[in-house]
Amino acid sequence: MTDTAVTVNGERRALAGVPTHTTALDWLRDGGLSGSKEGCAEGECGACAMLLATPGPDGGTAWTPVNACLVPVYALDGQEVVTAEGLGGVEDLHPVQEKLAEAGGSQCGYCTPGFACSMAAEYYRADRTPVAESADASTGSATGEPCPVHDPEHGPNGFDLHALSGNLCRCTGYRPIRDAAYALGAPEADDPLQQRLAEPAPAPVPTDAVVDGARFIRPATLAEALRILHDEPDALLVAGSTDWGVEVNIRGRRAPLVVAIEQLDELRALTVGDTVVEIGAALSLSEVEKGLGGRIPLLAELFPQFASRLIRNRGTFGGNLGTGSPIGDTPPALLALRASVVLASVSGEREVDLAEYFTGYRQTVKRPDELIKTIRIPLPLATTTAFHKIAKRRFDDISSVAVAFALDIEDGIVTAATIGLGGVAATPLRARATEAALVGSPWHIDTVRAAAEILRGEGTPMSDHRASAEYRSLMLNTALLKLHSATANQNDKKEVSA
């Protein structure tokens, strides 16, 4: 076994002898750091949140909150984390902890360490900018109009409430928690965690650990990873581990050989060219969101609806597609964008249209010796796009139905249409019959109503604990009507402004 260790709250802690399936949360708690809690063991509650040192702008570091309950501890080999204990103690409270205490935001206290870590990440976010307040906000602007200092999801200090979307309080104490978040100022110059941001994040280190016959490998290169897959076809690939971590915790799954690929440089490129956008399969959704900066509006609409910030900080496009799940949120959007995947093996690379990628329930054309290297989205993009996610909660939930639209409408006629569906069949799929009904037809309510009836019959929805088959079909029907209504409203606004 290589010399494996993780820096925790500034102290290097060895991993030698730790079982390879152990999560960061269990390892931290076994080591006496019991601030992080296990609430759901699925990444939904955030009680286990910790800060991970990741590469930041200009070669520095960013503190990124992640779910400790999902991360294999060996995936942190050579890395650096901070837990609630590392923020501050009873005698030297961190500003976040201090504001939570002052606002009465702790309630029972079980979830508070996770909230503190997520809040601390937002506290140290380099581009968090306070909203400029007027000289006298109480009287409004010079014109006499109200002068609000923040919107419903951002505080006057620039705090983004979505930073807490993965943290749940079981005592319904959200108001004081929000008040604590909005009361935070800027970090002091001598704050150790602030000063740490000026230094580079730890570089990835190759890892090879064998404990009790089980093995965890982090290859140094893509070529090495592909060779392992060729020689060991039963090896389990892990990137963000937001899916596999649930299997380990809830279902007790174990893997004899785990290969971690989330830090391979070859899988972490993001390029925007003249004819295609290429997204590395191992980039986290948060990294892709920031890297694209809204240049693909359909994905920009998807990102805030995908689980929570904590999950998006680890989850990847490659992982979402690799599992072959019919209820993943990214496949419908990527189908609508006419994306393809590049599959790599020791034999070379091949590109597969995403519409031909899924072959059955959690089955794909990807061979055991292949991995997803990149996702390619052709340009130019459709002019009218939308992503509709139907779930029991607005955020941090699994889709009952997901529908993604990408249409080109010229002079009132639909000239191109691509519609991706999730949650209505054994695989994500294209709504080809509906697409055919739309193309060449005028974009008005009669056309849309007829096409909506076709869309209602696409797929083979089933009834489960999330929704009935009838409800899923109804949601497909109303999705297209909703899109038409939205475009009509946009046109009305344009005419008024003109």
Same domain, 190 and 47: yes
225: in domain: no
> Does 209 fall in a domain?
no
C-alpha distances in Å from residue 129, one per residue of 124, 184, 192, 294: 11, 12, 21, 19
Where would I find the H helices in 104-221? Answer: 112-123, 174-182, 192-196
- For the stretch 365-424, pLDDT in tens is 999 999 999 999 999 999 999 999 999 887 788 899 999 999 999 999 999 999 999 999
Domain membership flag for residue 70 = yes
Domain presence at residue 351: yes
Q: How many CA atoms lie within 13 A of 448 on its CB side?
A: 19
CATH of the domain at 270: 3.30.465.10
Query: For 434-498, what is the HEC assignment?
Result: HHHHHCCCECCHHHHHHHHHHHHCCCCCCCCCCCCHHHHHHHHHHHHHHHHHHHHHHHHHHHHHC
pLDDT in tens, 327-382: 999 999 999 999 999 999 999 999 999 999 999 999 999 999 999 999 999 999 99
Q: What is the tens place of the pLDDT at every residue in 58-99?
A: 899 999 999 999 999 999 999 999 999 999 998 999 999 999
pLDDT band at 172 (very low <50, low <70, confident <90, very high): confident
Same domain, 348 and 411: no
In a domain, 404, yes or no: yes
Verify that 479 and 373 share a domain, yes or no.
no
Q: Is residue 246 part of a domain?
A: no
**Residues 353, 448 share a domain:** no
If asked whether residues 12 and 138 sit together in one domain, one would say yes
pTM of the model: 0.93
Mark whether 366 and 403 lie in a shared domain: no
Shared domain check, 156 and 126: yes
pLDDT of residue 150: 56
pLDDT per residue as tens digits for the range 127-151: 999 986 433 443 344 444 444 455 7
Q: How many domains does the chain have?
A: 3
How many whole angstroms separate alpha carbon 293 and alpha carbon 295?
Answer: 6
Determine, yes or no, domain membership for 236: no
Q: Closest by alpha carbon to 218, among 13, 60, 20? A: 20
Condensed to tens digits (0 to 9), the pLDDT of residues 260-312 reads 999 999 999 999 999 999 999 999 999 999 999 999 999 999 999 999 999 99
Given 146, 170, 199, which residue is the final one in a domain? 199
Answer yes or no: is 256 within a domain: no
Parent domain of 349 = 265-378
pLDDT at 165: 92
